[in-house]
Amino acid sequence: MLPHNRSDFFRTEQYNISVIDFFLQELMHDGIDATSLLFVNSTIEDSAKIVAKQNGIVAGQEEIDFFIKREECFLDIKILWKKKDGENVVIGDEICEISGNAIDILNFERVCLNVLSRLSGIATATKNIVEKSQTPIAATRKTQWGYLDKKAVFVGGGNTHRIGLFDAILIKENHLIAGKKKEVLQKLLHIQKYGPPEILKNIKFIEVEVETFEEFYEVFAIFLHEDFDIKNQYKYVIMLDNFSPKNIEKLFSELEKSYDKKTRNKQNIFIEISGGITEQNIENYSNLGADVISLGSLTHSVMPVDFSLRF
């Protein structure tokens, strides 16, 4: 399994709490629904349907359903789902029926639609790219909604990559500059000596971003060094950042002579490519030999799927 698959996080209490906090904050920011209070009888019970106005993949259903059933949810509503996360929808499909107090349904309308629209947009974009790529796909941390965006990538068939700053080490160019490259690489080699136990216990993998062939081989040598990760705790990733397809192909051609993919993976070494990759050019990168491709475009510039609520 790729170290970029952190989908187990979505079954943790930390994720559950983040979902509850998200919905409560969104509802709080909306404030009192002045329009509904003025024009809708507060005792009316009613029902409404959410319908797809575009084709796509549903995501966000589990989070909405989870929140509605929690005691923290102060809304008097129930939801009957007709479509669930990961399912295809086409224009006109009914996603769910919401029943309960009419004002509460109206209070929840925009938050509910926003979650379905954005997360379904991410899941749909992810699935489209996954289907075009021969190499597994992963997200980055270029997210607006953090954990929720990561979950949507997972629903669409992609890998989460690291969930946050806490669960993986990712040394980027700024770390090499700010920490002085020689010192950073020395600490990396002896990470179990330098790293505080309370931090290292949460680490799932160690990754280093490289921008040149020379940097790649520097890091590769560290991951192969007998003094590195002597307890064999981690998986290791080298990210080729903004390498052209031609240079990626050249690097793998050299590497395959001594360390083919099967050998690297047995030694817990994985190679990721990233930087400027989109649905439009994914096929230029998807068969070059990498273990995974990460794309910021999955989450930072995705188009939402349009849904509508109607009584």
Give every CB contact of residue 183 below 8 A, 6+ residues apart in sequence. Answer: none
What is the extent of the structural domain holding 80?
A: 7-127+304-310
CA 72 → CA 62, 129, 196, 282, distances in Å?
Answer: 16, 37, 36, 42
Tell me the residue type at 24: L
Assess whether 88 and 48 both reside in one domain: yes
Between CA 74 and CA 67 the distance in angstroms is 10
Q: Are residues 123 and 145 in the same domain?
A: no
Per-residue pLDDT of the chain (311 residues; tens, 9 = 90+): 899 999 999 999 999 999 999 999 999 998 888 898 888 888 889 999 999 999 999 999 999 999 999 999 999 999 999 999 999 999 999 999 999 999 999 999 999 999 999 999 999 999 999 999 999 999 999 999 999 999 999 999 999 999 999 999 999 988 988 888 889 999 999 998 878 888 888 899 999 999 999 999 999 999 999 999 888 889 999 999 999 999 999 999 999 998 999 999 999 999 999 999 999 999 999 999 999 999 999 999 889 999 999 99
Q: What is the CATH number of the domain that holds 140?
A: 3.20.20.70
- Number of domains composing the chain: 2
**Cα-to-chain-centroid distance, residue 109:** 25
Does any domain span residue 121? yes
In-domain check, residue 190: yes
Report yes or no: 156 and 130 within 8 Å, Cβ to Cβ: yes
Clarify whether residues 79 and 138 are in a common domain. no
